[in-house]
Amino acid sequence: MKEGNEFRELMIQIFRTRMAFRRAMQRTLKDNNAGITFEMLQVLSSLWHEQGITQQALAERTAKDKACLTNLMNNLEKKGYVYRKEDTNDRRNKLVYLTPEGEALKVQIRPILNLVYANAEEILSTERTAKILSELKTVQNVLEGF
């Protein structure tokens, strides 16, 4: 096998795993009539951890480009889950906040999503999951060193 092929295969497998995770979450959201997409969930999840952040920060945290995030924000606003407010320190920026409905959605969705995590961890085992996590953090550190 050519040098570097194993690492290339690892990167492809990480991508495939991410896509499988996205499909599993999307199915779970649909099966439970959550009314949001996986991409919307990514934005909401970031806001459940920290509100009043800029759209730029949200774009970075969710790995979305500006146009994609603007579209997601418009859809989330239409659903009544978020609102944007002008940043008093820099009027070019909009700060993003959850509405009470957006906060309530967390309470509704979190148990559903936790089932996905619990089922996967039961199959993989806590020990194996911890080992994979540790290895992936090592790969991340190596890549960030370039």
pLDDT of residue 2: 62
In whole angstroms, what is the distance from residue 132 CA to residue 127 CA? Answer: 9
Q: How many domains does the chain have?
A: 1
* 105: its two tokens: 């959605």
The backbone torsions φ and ψ at residue 54, rounded to the nearest 5 degrees and listed phi first, read: -75, 160
The pTM assigned to this predicted structure is 0.83
Domain of 126, CATH number, reads 1.10.10.10
pLDDT score of 103: 95
Rounded to the nearest 5°, which phi and psi values hold at 64?
Answer: -115, 145
pLDDT score, position 24: 92
Looking at residue 6, what is its pLDDT?
92
Domain that holds residue 69: 5-144
Is residue 128 exposed (0-12), middle (13-18) or buried (19+ Cβ within 10 Å)? exposed
pLDDT mean by block of 10 residues, the chain; 146 residues: 80 95 94 94 95 92 92 96 91 91 94 90 92 95 91
CA 139 to centroid of chain Cα atoms? 20
pLDDT of residue 19: 95
Residue owning tokens 């540790």: 134
State the burial class of residue 45 (Cβ atoms within 10 Å of its Cβ: 0-12, 13-18, 19+). middle
Query: What's the pLDDT score for residue 87?
Result: 85
Instruction: Give the closest residue to 50 by CA, choosing from 64, 36, 62.
Output: 62
Euclidean distance between CA atoms 95 and 118, whole angstroms: 34
